[in-house]
Amino acid sequence: MVALLNILAVPFSLIYKTVAWIQRRLRARRVHAPKDIFVISVDGIAFGGSGKTPMVIRLGEELSRKKIPFAVITRGYGSRLEKTGGRLDPRRHGPADAGDEACLIQRRLPQAAVWVGRRRVDSLEAAARDGARVAILDDGFQSTHIRRDLKIMLDDPDRPWSYLRHFPRLMREADLYLTRSGARRPARGPAHGTYDSGISGFFDARGKSHDVGETGLFGFSALGDNQRFRRDLEAFNLLGFRPFRDHHAYDAGDLRDLEKRRRAAGAGFLVCTEKDFIKAATAAPADMPLLYAGNRIQLDMDLGDYLWRHVPEKT
């Protein structure tokens, strides 16, 4: 099926790549970023589901260990701050204000400043004024107008529409090009290493770990790659699954429907990703058995050591 989709995508790929190449060339004519901030760009070949957000979080964890002041720059697709720009304030802003990915990053990196907005140069300048010495740029694929000091590219060859964004030059330009381990299709170029992710446990709203045992799970998610999350859950007696479109905003009706499906399937818990949990938990009744699956990106390299060697000492 993946091979057929990629064949069908060829004419669309040619059009997309032509437009994207022209756009990138025009933007690259004026490269800008504050001179006193080091920019790490995290990009993905595929449209969603390649693991950019977990990689951003992992980078933030490593920078925190080095005690380097850093900020995260993200667009916040579909949110109010995407249009106006600004720093995410977890006391005032939710997914509708800043986007689900921005809220997840802030939740996992509470010590970091997360700047949201379409105008990423403005966010970088604000982060530099705020004292950040490193900025992690989430999805800098189209941000050729921004100086990127360290480029990290993630590639999942199994993603059906990844062919559309297959620019060999981008992979050659990447300072760190990683492919998903265990992919059925071969990587598109010589990679520097591999990455993967997996479920590390199941947690409730208080962060308490739960042993799901053989009670059975009913899963749901609104990701760029719902099928990968479904496959991960199949190792835990998955009895049913409901996919939603990426960035779906859950309401009380969605949660009532999911609860009915859980009961009909005979599952003990409803399980989603942490990104989905941020949105779904606010609409869920207090007695609903709702958990999120913990996830952390796994690398076949020492990322902390890599950053130690590549991030300048001046930071």
152 domain residue, yes or no: yes
3 state DSSP class of 126? helix
255 domain residue, yes or no: yes
Span of 8-17, 45-54, 61-70, 129-138 with lowest mean pLDDT:
8-17
Are 27 and 157 members of one domain? yes
Domain boundary among 196, 220, 239: 196
Tokens found for residue 141: 């694929």
Domain boundary among 149, 177, 196: 196
d(CA 235, CA 216): 11
Are 169 and 60 members of one domain? yes
Are 177 and 248 members of one domain? no
Residue-range definition of the domain harbouring residue 26? 2-196
Q: Give strand pairing partners of 87.
A: 115
Are 152 and 10 members of one domain? yes
User: Which of 8-12, 29-33, 99-103, 174-178 tops mean pLDDT?
Assistant: 99-103
Are 165 and 205 members of one domain? no
25 domain residue, yes or no: yes
**Rounded to the nearest 10 degrees, how much is the dihedral formed by the CA atoms of 151, 157, 162, 168?**
50
230 domain residue, yes or no: yes
Are 138 and 182 members of one domain? yes
| Mean pLDDT for all residues in the chain | 86
pLDDT category of residue 170 using cuts at 50, 70 and 90: low
Determine the pLDDT at residue 158. 73
d(CA 240, CA 221): 12
314 domain residue, yes or no: no
Determine the pLDDT at residue 145. 82
309 domain residue, yes or no: no
How many percent of the chain have pLDDT more than 90? 63
* Cβ neighbours, 10 Å, residue 96: 14
Each residue's pLDDT tens digit, 232-291: 999 999 999 999 999 899 999 999 999 999 999 999 999 999 999 999 999 999 999 999
Tokens found for residue 170: 């981008």
Count how many domains the chain has: 2
**Category of 49 on φ-ψ map: left (φ > 0), alpha (ψ -120 to 50) or beta:** left
Are 160 and 38 members of one domain? yes
Whether residue 49 is predicted with pLDDT greater than 90 in this model: the reply is no
> What's the CATH code of the domain at 88?
3.40.50
Are 218 and 105 members of one domain? no
Are 40 and 152 members of one domain? yes
Determine the pLDDT at residue 27. 55
Are 246 and 152 members of one domain? no
Determine the pLDDT at residue 9. 53
Q: How far is CA 74 from CA 15, 115, 141, 290, 308, in A?
A: 27, 6, 12, 28, 24
pTM: 0.85
Whether residue 5 is predicted with pLDDT greater than 60 in this model: the reply is no
Helix (H) or strand (E) holding 170: helix 168-173
Tokens found for residue 103: 């809220």
- Residue 204 or residue 34, greater confidence: 204
Each residue's pLDDT tens digit, 14-32: 555 555 555 555 555 566 7
Domain boundary among 171, 196, 221: 196
Determine the pLDDT at residue 312. 83
312 domain residue, yes or no: no
Are 163 and 215 members of one domain? no
Local structure of residue 300 (DSSP, 8 states): S
306 domain residue, yes or no: no
Whether residue 95 is predicted with pLDDT greater than 90 in this model: the reply is yes
pLDDT category of residue 156 using cuts at 50, 70 and 90: confident
Determine the pLDDT at residue 169. 59
d(CA 103, CA 119): 18
Are 214 and 131 members of one domain? no
pLDDT category of residue 164 using cuts at 50, 70 and 90: low
